[in-house]
């Protein structure tokens, strides 16, 4: 059976971006994904845009899965969103803590993703299929790998059904994380998050802000290509195809692509992996 795939979008900021996303969604829909997820700005900063993006995509093919973050937000506003999604017949969520926007200080009533998962279960029972975040290379704020793994296990025990990872390029970190989680008796699927490589400076910026590691050999090769974007894309494609192949061979249950609201290069990756 082919490994299943899912695609992540962020809510566009402009009308032009929203119109473009409709086209990207239709094109990626042809690849038969399990679902499309839409990110949510921490503290509710994209609440309306996430909702309108979800409205635009819901009912147009594969199910949609809104992300929902809890830091700096309050229970009443989160409960309201849960009720809105349920009323629309949306039954998947990606539940996150989020990162506080600069300047915002209060953690809110639900400071960690585990608190959010618990709240979702208390409020909506088993209605939602809930995915959470996982960090094979450790969350940047965790004090130790062991503690991060234990916190992750708590999040699943609180009621998460599965997890999507931060992007990574080192498959050993993923398989080690999965082994450690299994040793704790957790059998929730851990789905690798796949970041296509198209632009060196964007990739380095994402990696620096999320604590993901770009191996030296990839950094050096990207730097050597300079402004030659065609070579960067070709090299990036080869690296990510091999990464995905190793993950599939090693038993990854599915792949979740960070599309950056673009059809290519995700479509090419999925096709070359034979997953369409
Ligand atoms: P948590 O699971 O709460 O963990 C955060 C940190 O707190 C970790 O270091 C953990 O070890 C520690 N911790 C957990 N519980 C406790 C506790 N009880 N006491 C002390 N420490 C604890 N961000 C957004 O704002 N919007 C999005 O849509 C979004 N989508 C994402 C999708 C994916 C697949 C991933 C991987 C990340 C996404 N993020 C998103 C980013 C995410 O919000 C940040 O990485 C954030 O810093 C942590 O979120 P979390 O849900 O992993 O937090």
- Residue with CA nearest ligand 1 atom 24: 98
d(CA 57, CA 62): 9
Query: If you measure from the C-alpha of residue 133 to the centroid of ligand 1, how many angstroms do you get, rounded to a whole number?
Result: 6
User: Model pTM?
Assistant: 0.97
| Residues forming beta bridges with residue 64, ordered by sequence position | 36
Q: What would the two tokens of residue 1 be?
A: 């059976």
d(CA 74, CA 82): 13
Whether 68 contacts 97, CB under 8 Å: no
pLDDT digit of tens for each residue in the chain (276 aa)? 789 999 999 999 999 999 999 999 999 999 999 999 999 998 888 999 999 999 999 999 999 999 999 998 999 999 999 999 999 999 999 999 999 877 767 778 999 999 999 999 999 999 999 999 999 999 999 999 999 999 999 999 999 999 999 999 999 999 999 999 999 999 999 999 999 999 999 999 999 999 899 999 999 999 999 999 999 999 999 999 999 999 999 999 999 999 999 999 999 999 999 998
- The reply to whether ligand 1 has any atom less than 6 angstroms from the CB of 53 is no
Q: Which residues are catalytic?
A: 8
User: Does domain 4-272 match CATH 3.40.190.10?
Assistant: no
| Residues forming beta bridges with residue 132, ordered by sequence position | 95, 163
- Residue with CA nearest ligand 1 atom 39: 98
- Residue with CA nearest ligand 1 atom 49: 97
d(CA 46, CA 51): 8
């Amino acid at each position: 059976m082919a490994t299943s795939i899912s695609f992540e979008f962020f809510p566009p900021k402009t009308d032009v971006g929203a119109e473009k996303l409709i086209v990207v969604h239709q094109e990626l829909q042809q690849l038969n994904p399990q679902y499309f997820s839409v990110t949510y700005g921490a503290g509710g900063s994209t609440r309306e845009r996430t909702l309108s993006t979800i409205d635009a995509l819901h009912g147009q093919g594969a199910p949609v899965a809104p992300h929902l973050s809890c830091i700096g937000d309050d229970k009443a506003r989160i409960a309201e969103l849960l009720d809105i999604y349920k009323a629309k017949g949306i039954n998947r969520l990606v539940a996150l803590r989020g990162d506080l926007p600069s300047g915002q200080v209060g953690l809110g009533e639900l400071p960690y993703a585990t608190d959010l998962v618990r709240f979702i279960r208390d409020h909506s029972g088993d209605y939602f299929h809930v995915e959470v975040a996982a960090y094979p290379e450790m969350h940047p704020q965790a004090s130790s790998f062991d503690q991060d793994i234990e916190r992750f296990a708590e999040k699943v025990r609180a009621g998460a059904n599965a997890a999507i990872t931060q992007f990574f390029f080192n498959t050993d970190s993923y398989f080690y994380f999965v082994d450690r989680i299994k040793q704790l008796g957790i059998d929730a699927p851990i789905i690798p998050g796949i970041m296509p490589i198209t632009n060196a400076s964007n990739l380095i910026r994402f990696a620096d802000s999320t604590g993901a590691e770009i191996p030296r050999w990839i950094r050096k090769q990207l730097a050597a290509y300079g402004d030659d974007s065609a070579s960067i894309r070709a090299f990036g494609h080869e690296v990510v195809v091999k990464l995905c192949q190793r993950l599939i061979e090693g038993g990854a249950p599915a792949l979740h692509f960070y599309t950056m609201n673009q059809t290519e290069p995700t479509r090419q990756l999925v096709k070359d992996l034979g997953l369409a």
